[in-house]
């Protein structure tokens, strides 16, 4: 701003002199003023480029960190399923089969890979190349097909998360041994296995089918996705009718008085209340006062519904306002009651706008984390929730939990979960855009 002011001051005294002097002074200052103009314009462009660059860096780092989570390093194990270990009495009773000592079989199979390792400590070290989840893979295979018992089974089981990271190139063999999580021995074994061709890289289905786990290679987002689904369902069921009701009342029926003013001020303020405060409300009212279960999607859904209400109400009111009065007058003219005018004419016409607002509100709720931390949805939950009353977590909270974990493999999975979350959000917003484009009417 000082530049331009200086220009004015310089020009001013010359104004008293001859017109030629003045125009000369202006011409002289023009160059500087145009340069300032260009600079200012560049600042604006830089600001936008900065924002775009931030977005690009954000997305690139997340994809760069997370794409590798979609593959999992597996090892092909050759296991003999001795009947005396699995089902000594030959009853094929599922209870017996599911509690059998598969770990012993896995240990034996791993041992057979390197028969020359005899030292006890080294043998234990050797076992660490396999994920502890390998036993479950074998148990599931046996439970599915009991005729396998007594035969040789060639099965692919995940390697430990550290070797998986090593295989993906995130742990370099060049750093000193004490500074990395895999030892020289393990690397040597792993490379020999690779030469034998038993190490393979497969699509990581566990990531999309399992719940959380302490072992990165066994952890998946499915539990969180299901939890998010239940939470969103509760949110939608509560917030949509209430928001539409509130918007219709305020826009179509409410008299203009102090009470409705108060409601409006309230809605606007609630839209700007920090989300964590809604979490405190949920904790104090829903959990402590009403005694609803902690960590349950019902409570999460209720909190998020209160949080998204203002967004949807504001969008719905805008949509209702856009319906021209002539529609209402026409309906009144043929004898409709006020409620009929709204339900038969105004609401259907405003519906695309309301739905767009609802989807945007739901997208906000889907990405929300802080209030859910307050009501205990951060618990470590392995099981896939079966209903809105079961303890569960949601996708953003899962991301938070994983990014806090020390293992690098969890960081990779958190990035993958972010990609999934962003995928959902993009989908929802795309639907909103399509709705707006297709059904938006201008009168």
Partner 1 sequence: MQTAILAVTLAVLTIIGFYMGRSRSVSVAAGNLRRLHSLPGYYGYYVALWCGIPAFAVLATWLSLETTIVETLVIASLPETTQALPESRLNLLINDIRNLASGNIVSREVDPELQAAAERYQSLRQTGFLAAAAVTLSLAIAGLAWGRRLIGPGLKARNQVETVVRVFLIVSSTIAILTTIGIVLSLLFEAIRFFALVSPLEFLFGLKWSPQTALRADQVGSSGLFGAIPLFSGTLLISFIAMCVAGPAGLLSAVYMSEYAHPRMRAVAKPILEILAGIPTVVYGFFAALTVAPFFRNTGAGVGLEISSESALAAGVVMGIMIIPFVSSISDDVITAVPQAMREGSYGLGATRSETIRQVIIPAALPGIVGGFLLAMSRAIGETMIVVMAAGLAANLTVNPFEAVTTVTVQIVTLLIGDQEFDSAKTLAAFALGLMLFCVTLCLNVIALHVVNKYREQYE
Cα atoms in the Cβ-side hemisphere of radius 13 Å centred on 261: 3
Contact between 37 and partner 1 per CB under 8 A? yes
**Minimum distance of partner 1 from residue 376's CB (angstroms):** 8
What is the Cα–Cα distance from 97 to 83, expressed in whole angstroms? 10
Q: Whole-number minimum distance, CB 431 to partner 1, in Å?
A: 13
* 302-315 as b/e: b if 16+ CB within 10 A: bbbbbbbbbbbbbb
Told to check if 200 binds partner 1 by CB under 8 A, we report no
Residue 43 interacts with partner 1 (CB under 8 A): yes or no = yes
Which of 81-89, 166-174, 204-212, 254-262 is the region at the interface with partner 1 (rule: CB under 8 A)? 254-262
Q: How many residues does the chain have?
A: 443
Q: Can residue 326 be called a binding residue for partner 1 (CB under 8 A)?
A: no
Q: Which is nearer to partner 1, 183 or 429 (CB)?
A: 429
Least gap, CB of 117 to partner 1 (angstroms): 37
Residue 318 binding partner 1, by CB under 8 A: no
Question: Under the criterion CB under 8 A, does residue 273 sit at the interface with partner 1?
Answer: yes
Is there binding between residue 404 and partner 1 (CB under 8 A)?
Answer: yes
Dihedral pair phi/psi, residue 199, rounded to 5°: -95, 125
Contacts of partner 1 in 276-315 (CB under 8 A)? 276-278, 280-281, 283-285, 288-292, 306, 309-310, 313
> Distance from first CA to last CA of the chain, Å, rounded?
44
By C-beta, is 54 or 200 nearer to partner 1? 54
Of 56-64, 86-94, 113-121, 184-192, which part binds partner 1 (CB under 8 A)?
Answer: 56-64
* Residues whose CB falls within 8 Å of the CB of residue 164, separated by 6 or more in sequence, listed in order: 72, 73, 158, 216, 217, 409
Count other C-beta atoms under 10 Å from residue 349's C-beta.
17
| Calpha distance 66→59 (Å, rounded) | 10
268 contributes a contact to partner 1 by CB under 8 A: yes
- Residue 157: strand pairing partners: 75
Name the strand (E) or helix (H) holding 65. helix 19-66
Q: Does 348 bind partner 1 (CB under 8 A)?
A: no
* Using rule CB under 8 A, residue 334 touches partner 1: no
Q: Which residue from 80, 202, 205, 269 is in contact with partner 1, where contact means CB under 8 A?
A: 269
């Amino acid at each position: 701003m000082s530049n331009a002011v200086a220009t004015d001051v310089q020009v001013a005294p010359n104004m008293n002199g001859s017109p030629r002097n003045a125009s000369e002074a202006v011409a002289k200052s023009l160059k500087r003023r145009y340069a300032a103009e260009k600079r200012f314009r560049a600042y604006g462009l830089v600001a936008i480029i900065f924002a775009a660059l931030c977005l690009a860096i954000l997305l690139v780092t997340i994809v760069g960190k997370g794409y590798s989570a979609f593959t999992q390093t597996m090892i092909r194990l050759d296991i003999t399923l001795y009947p005396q270990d699995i089902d000594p009495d030959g009853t094929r009773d599922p209870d017996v089969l599911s509690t059998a000592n598969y770990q012993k079989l896995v240990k034996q199979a791993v041992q057979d890979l390197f028969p020359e390792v005899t030292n006890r400590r080294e043998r234990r070290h050797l076992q660490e190349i396999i994920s502890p989840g390998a036993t479950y893979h074998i148990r599931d295979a046996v439970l599915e097909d009991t005729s396998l018992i007594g035969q040789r089974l060639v099965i692919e089981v995940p390697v430990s998360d550290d070797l998986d990271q090593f295989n993906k190139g995130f742990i370099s063999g060049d750093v000193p041994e004490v500074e990395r999580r895999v030892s020289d021995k393990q690397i040597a074994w792993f490379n020999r296995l690779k030469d034998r061709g038993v190490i393979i890289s497969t699509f990581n289905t566990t990531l999309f089918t399992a719940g959380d786990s302490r072992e990165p290679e066994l952890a998946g987002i499915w539990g969180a996705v299901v939890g998010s689904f239940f939470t969103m369902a509760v949110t939608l069921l509560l917030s949509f009718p209430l928001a539409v009701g509130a918007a219709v009342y305020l826009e179509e029926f409410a008299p203009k008085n102090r009470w409705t003013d108060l409601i409006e001020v309230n809605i606007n303020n609630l839209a700007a209340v920090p989300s964590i405060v809604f979490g405190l409300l949920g904790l104090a009212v829903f959990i402590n006062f009403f005694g609803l279960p902690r960590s349950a999607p019902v409570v999460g859904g209720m909190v998020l519904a209160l949080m998204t209400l203002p967004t949807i109400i504001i969008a719905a009111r805008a949509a209702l306002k856009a319906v021209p009065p002539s529609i209402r007058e026409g309906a009144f003219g043929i004898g409709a009651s006020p409620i009929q005018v709204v339900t038969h004419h105004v609401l259907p016409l405003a519906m695309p706008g309301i739905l767009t607002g609802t989807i945007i509100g739901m997208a906000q709720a889907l990405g929300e984390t802080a209030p859910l931390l307050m009501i205990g949805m951060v618990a470590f939950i392995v099981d896939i929730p079966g209903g809105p009353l079961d303890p569960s977590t949601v996708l953003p909270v899962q991301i938070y939990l994983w990014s806090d974990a020390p293992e690098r493999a969890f960081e990779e999975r958190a990035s993958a979960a972010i990609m999934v979350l962003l995928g959902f959000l993009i989908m929802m917003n795309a639907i909103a855009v399509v709705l707006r484009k297709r059904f938006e009417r201008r009168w």
